Amino acid sequence: MLEVRGLHVRYGDFHVVHGVSLHVAAGEVVALLGPNGAGKTTTLRAIHGIVPAASGEIVYAGRRLHGLSPAVRVRLGLGLVPEGRELFPAMSVEDHLELGFVTRRGRRLAEARDEVYTLFPRLAERRRQAAGSLSGGEQQMLAIGRALMATPALLMLDEPSLGLAPRVVDQVYDTLAALNRRGLTLVLVEQHVYEALALAHRAYIMTSGEITLHGPAAEVRERPELRTSYLAV
């Protein structure tokens, strides 16, 4: 479903991502892990078109994404839940969901919104509440719900457990597991390494802008290089 080949990303003279290659099959959960500053977020942002790739190739569902805007990539079925959620504090839950709605497969806005409320009943209870007044867990639910409004086939999530209490982290991961069982393909950037590896089928470890380890999640979990990659910064 997704193939990244030799991806390089620069911010001016700063070379952030160095020749990253990875692939994601339909129906998989793939974890992209590594220490802060490894280039994980930049990799997701390049895949989504938010930052330009200096070189390399990104292919989604058989189509090269070079030159396509993030809006077009969303319409193709490539979704992103950004780090920090990026909500608008004064806007209501319902307005956020409407903002994320993209007409695909003939769905109506109300139908898409009701599906999100079924997945997250707490959001239905707070549909007219401002996003800035929600708890951290509710805000993360809203960020995921907004992305789901576009009916993605592949959803990338950047630090979905950031700043959440352990109980809420478990709830978020239960939801992600349920979405994957329904057929949604997931790419997960996460600092909660072992929670991510418990959910993922495969994992890639990034260090200093490069992939340094990859394989089945259960095997990566037991490799000593996993701990080394977090200490070598």
Average pLDDT of span 32-54: 95
Look at residue 222 and tell me whether its pLDDT is greater than 60.
yes
User: Quick count: other Cβ atoms within 10 Å of Cβ 55?
Assistant: 10
**Which H/E stretch holds residue 30?**
strand 29-33
Q: What is the pLDDT of residue 103?
A: 65
Per-residue pLDDT band at 157 (split at 50, 70, 90): very high
**So what's the pLDDT on residue 51?**
95
In this prediction, residue 232 carries a pLDDT of 46
Class in CATH terms, 2-86+154-231: alpha beta
Q: What are phi and psi of 169, to 5 degrees?
A: -55, -45
Task: Give the lowest-confidence range in 76-80, 126-130, 185-189, 218-222.
Answer: 218-222
Residue 229 has pLDDT above 50, yes or no: yes
Query: Is 230's pLDDT higher than 70?
Result: no
Whether the per-residue pLDDT at 224 is higher than 90: the answer is no
In a 10 Å sphere around its CB, with 0-12 CB exposed, 13-18 middle and 19+ buried, how is residue 187 labelled? Answer: buried
- Return mean pLDDT, the chain: 92
Instruction: Please indicate, yes or no, whether the overall pTM of this predicted structure exceeds 0.85.
Output: yes
Alpha-carbon gap, residue 140 to 171, rounded angstroms: 11
Give 65-84 pLDDT, tens digit per residue.
999 999 999 999 999 999 98
Count of CA atoms in the C-beta half-sphere (13 A) of 30 = 22
28, containing H or E segment: none
Is pLDDT larger for residue 230 or for residue 130?
130
pLDDT value of position 107: 74
Whether the pLDDT of residue 193 is over 60: the answer is yes
56 DSSP 8-state letter? E
* % the chain with pLDDT above 90: 83
Q: Is the pLDDT of residue 2 over 60?
A: yes
DSSP string over 127-175: TTSBGGGS-HHHHHHHHHHHHHTT--SEEEEESTTTT--HHHHHHHHHH
Alpha-carbon gap, residue 45 to 68, rounded angstroms: 13
Burial (CB < 10 A; 0-12, 13-18, 19+), residue 63, is exposed
Other residues' Cβ atoms within 10 Å of the Cβ of residue 159: 20
